[in-house]
Chains A and B, each alone.
Chain A
Amino acid sequence: MPFTSSDGDAWPSDQPIVSLVDVHKSFGHVEVLRGISFDVFQGDAVCIIGPSGSGKSTLIRCINGLANFQRGSIKVEGQEVSDANIDKRKLRKKVGIVFQQYNLFPHKTALQNIMMAPIHVLREPKDVVLDRAVKLMKKVRLDGLENRYPGELSGGQQQRVAIARSLAMNPNIMLFDEVTAALDPETVKEVLRTIRELTEEDMTCILVTHEMGFAREVGDHIYFTDRGLIVEHGEPDEFFKAAKDPRTRAFLNQVL
């Protein structure tokens, strides 16, 4: 099914909005993904946890085409992302991503950071975008800081601007790549609160995270990856209470 405007109809709830089948990826001889499969449905919050180096960040980058993979299939709203003929821009409009290092544009103010892509990529009129950007700043509770440069904001504030910047593209799916890993503990809470609000609004979210408490709280489904494979998965309660695989148990014992 071709991409339609993201303002259009919601994706049907009986079909996976994101579907991974046997995804393999290697850097040279190092296999980072060795056959990952899972489905994500509209409105779900899926958390991917696992030891570092287990391929979580690579996996999430494959979903919006930032990284390519050698074998398998990733479909976003029915569209194969590895297809060379797809319009990557349309894919990226559908799928927002927030990074560990925020990656805000340091020479633009918070508001300009949010407005740039809608104006130059979506070619929307400036006043419409401005209106939306101001609302998004309010949504991430940073109203009043619109004209600050990233360098003048705390890590947590920068990360919330980064979330707003992604949301400004009106994506249907949000990817979060360890968004709180680089933050000071006291600023983590506000960022998690923003993400929690998104999941409550039924935004489809795929999160790579080390915040186990948060994963348990917001996740509809937890996947535990190790060495490029999904070792175990389940609903948060059963997953955290009664993990079956020894590797999962060893990991949870270490971090909980």
Chain B
Amino acid sequence: MVSNIARPRYCAALALLFLFSFWGETVAAPNPHFSPFEALWIWMPFILSGFLLNLVMSLLAAVLGTILGGLLGIAQLSTSKVICSSSVFVTQVFRNTPWIIILFAVMLLVPFELKLGTRSLIIPDWLKATVGFAIPVSANVAEVVRGAILSVPSGQWESSESLGFSKWQTLRMVILPQCVKRMMAPWMNAYAILVLSTPIAAVLGVHEAVGNAQQAMEALGARTSLLVPFYSFILVLFFFYIYPISRLTLWLERRYAVYL
């Protein structure tokens, strides 16, 4: 599996692309101030610290979104009409709304600071953005969970019922354990999409990788020759984070395909 993750030809192609992007200025028309490579080198810690925030936001949003989505997915299968239809409604709304709209809504609706008695708690923008990401993620996870539960043969419910298990016991001990395997791959997909969506937060002033790169380029005089190397660097960052995940997803899909 390790050899799969670091497939040499993909990595080599990306590295070439990355190096080639410096060609424009370093070789063809040397700049008196900083070459793009030097500029990137100087600003790299700044961009990397932004990227760290992308990862933190994605991980937190994934955890929150998975918990909310799990509950939402189960609620959609409730026998109570009210719970069922309201959770279907919520899921559909958040699944079919552009993420940036949800993000704006969270940014504007959540107050800048929370007052708890005498103490006030300032909510940083990145945390608000994380909540904003968790909402559409939960809607997507809800559909994954619902689909997985429905994919378990009805005979499992029937035999559990005949053995005296309650509905919750059946869900917890019989149905959900069988769902975990089925949900793994679609969940990983959802996570990959979430990670790739985190730069949307830049629009809202969160200092993540893309926002920081833009700021760095502005500080360097907004030279167009910087665009390709700086954005390529971000591409490489995301690629090396996501690619192993998608390989792992494929591996899991194959691994568990056997047992379904």
- The closest CB in chain A to the CB of B172 belongs to A120
Q: Once the chains bind, are A92 and B173 in contact (CB under 8 Å)? A: no
Q: Does B259 contact A (CB under 8 A)?
A: yes
Q: Once the chains bind, are B177 and A103 in contact (CB under 8 Å)? A: no
Q: Does B155 contact A (CB under 8 A)?
A: yes
Which residues of B have CB within 8 Å of A101?
153, 155
- Indicate with 1 or 0, residue by residue over B5-27, a CB within 8 angstroms of chain A CB atoms: 00000000000000000000000
Q: Does A107 contact B (CB under 8 A)?
A: yes
Q: Does B218 contact A (CB under 8 A)?
A: no
- The closest CB in chain B to the CB of A97 belongs to B162
Given A101-B155, A105-B156, A120-B173, A92:B162 Cβ within 8 A: yes
Distance in angstroms from B62 CB to nearest chain A CB is 24
Which residues of A have CB within 8 Å of B32?
none
Given A106-B178, A107-B178, A120:B156 Cβ within 8 A: no
Those 3 A-B pairs whose CB atoms lie nearest each other, nearest first: A103-B159, A117-B163, A103-B155
- Indicate with 1 or 0, residue by residue over B136-165, a CB within 8 angstroms of chain A CB atoms: 000000000000000001011011011111
Which residues of A have CB within 8 Å of B161?
66, 92
Which residues of B have CB within 8 Å of A233?
none
Distance in angstroms from A123 CB to nearest chain B CB is 11
Which residues of A have CB within 8 Å of B162?
64, 66, 92, 96-97, 166
- The closest CB in chain A to the CB of B165 belongs to A121
Cα A77 to Cα B237 with chains together (Å): 70
Q: Does B86 contact A (CB under 8 A)?
A: no
Q: Does B174 contact A (CB under 8 A)?
A: yes
Q: Does B169 contact A (CB under 8 A)?
A: yes
Which residues of B have CB within 8 Å of A103?
153, 155-156, 158-159
Q: List 15 A-B contacts (CB under 8 A).
A: A66-B162, A89-B166, A92-B161, A97-B162, A99-B158, A103-B155, A105-B156, A107-B178, A116-B163, A116-B173, A120-B173, A121-B163, A151-B259, A169-B163, A169-B164
Cα A64 to Cα B162 with chains together (Å): 7
Which residues of A have CB within 8 Å of B178?
105-107
Identify which of residues 167-198 in chain A touch chain B, using a CB-to-CB cut-off of 8 Å.
Answer: 169
Q: Does A93 contact B (CB under 8 A)?
A: yes
Q: Once the chains bind, are B164 and A92 in contact (CB under 8 Å)? A: yes
Q: Does A165 contact B (CB under 8 A)?
A: yes
Distance in angstroms from A163 CB to nearest chain B CB is 12
Partner of A121, one of B155, B156, B158, B164: B164
Which residues of A have CB within 8 Å of B173?
116, 120
Q: Which of B156, B159, B169 has the most CB of A within 10 A?
A: B159
Given A105-B174, A107-B177, A117:B156 Cβ within 8 A: no
Cα A143 to Cα B166 with chains together (Å): 30
Q: Once the chains bind, are B164 and A117 in contact (CB under 8 Å)? A: yes
Cα A77 to Cα B156 with chains together (Å): 27
Q: Once the chains bind, are A120 and B165 in contact (CB under 8 Å)? A: yes
Which residues of B have CB within 8 Å of A105?
156, 159, 174, 178
Known: A93-B164, A99-B155; 10 extra A-B contacts, CB below 8 A, are A66-B158, A66-B162, A92-B164, A99-B158, A103-B155, A103-B158, A104-B159, A117-B164, A121-B164, A166-B163
Distance in angstroms from B161 CB to nearest chain A CB is 6
Identify which of residues 134-171 in chain A touch chain B, using a CB-to-CB cut-off of 8 Å.
Answer: 151, 162, 165-166, 169
- The closest CB in chain A to the CB of B174 belongs to A105
Cα A151 to Cα B165 with chains together (Å): 23
Which residues of A have CB within 8 Å of B156?
103, 105
Distance in angstroms from B165 CB to nearest chain A CB is 6
Q: Once the chains bind, are A165 and B259 in contact (CB under 8 Å)? A: no
- The closest CB in chain B to the CB of A165 belongs to B163
Cα A162 to Cα B159 with chains together (Å): 9
Cα A56 to Cα B27 with chains together (Å): 84
Partner of A117, one of B153, B155, B165: B165
Cα A120 to Cα B170 with chains together (Å): 10
Distance in angstroms from A173 CB to nearest chain B CB is 12
Which residues of A have CB within 8 Å of B155?
99, 101, 103
Distance in angstroms from A46 CB to nearest chain B CB is 19
Which residues of B have CB within 8 Å of A166?
162-163
